[in-house]
Amino acid sequence: MPLGSLSEALSPGAWQGYRRSMITAVHTLIYSDDAPATRAFLRDVLQWRYVSDAVPEGEPEWLIFRTGPSEVGVHPTGGSDPATHTSRHHSISLMCDDLDSTMAELASRGAQFATDPVDARFGRIVFMSVPGADDIMLYQPQHAVAYSLED
């Protein structure tokens, strides 16, 4: 809805609704050495819904997946302490309500796991192997989650 004047547009709170919806989604990228295999895993094993961009005949489909609710956390690099330091990077983690039953269902669809489940400070975790790409953490959080917050 247009605002009547510049002073109205610059007034505190005039754009609050816009700010809340300015970012419409988080688009995550997985760089893969075998993109068709990675896409097949996301489509067939995780059973994520997708859209497909038009591609020239003979080229593999370019699938973009709907991942559902999301949230972004910011973790410190640990500063100068070598014991806790990690370099700056981005990480993908998938969340679930029950790690054991989720692992069993995914395994029945062909998923493989690179680690056994372990308890971490923030939840119970396992790393799932993704064809053509790096492993992805799957975890059952033991912390408050932001993805269910209302707008």
pLDDT at 1: 36
How far is residue 106's CA from residue 94's CA, in Å, rounded to a whole number?
Answer: 13
In terms of CATH, what superfamily is 35-69+91-141? 2,3-Dihydroxybiphenyl 1,2-Dioxygenase, domain 1 (3.10.180.10)
In the 3-class helix/strand/coil scheme, how is the chain assigned residue by residue? CCCCCHHHHHCCCCCHHHHHHHCCCCCCCCCCCCHHHHHHHHHHHCCCCEEEECCCCCCCCEEEECCCCCCCCCCCCCCCCCCCCCCCCCCCEEECCCHHHHHHHHHHCCCEECCCCEEECCEEEEEEECCCCCCEEEEEECCCCCCCCCC
pLDDT at 61: 82
Give the pTM: 0.76
What phi and psi, each to the nearest 5 degrees, are found at residue 6?
-60, -40
pLDDT at 112: 98
Q: Which residue has the tokens 């709907």?
A: 66
pLDDT at 59: 82
Question: Phi-psi region for residue 120, left (φ > 0), alpha (ψ -120 to 50) or beta?
Answer: beta
| Rg, the chain, Cα only | 20
CA distances (Å), origin 136, targets 15, 46, 57? 37, 12, 31
Q: Residue 8, exposed/middle/buried by CB under 10 A (0-12, 13-18, 19+)?
A: exposed
pLDDT at 60: 78
pLDDT at 3: 44
Which mean pLDDT values do the consecutive 10-residue runs of the chain (151 residues) have? Answer: 47 54 82 94 96 84 89 83 82 94 97 98 96 96 88 67
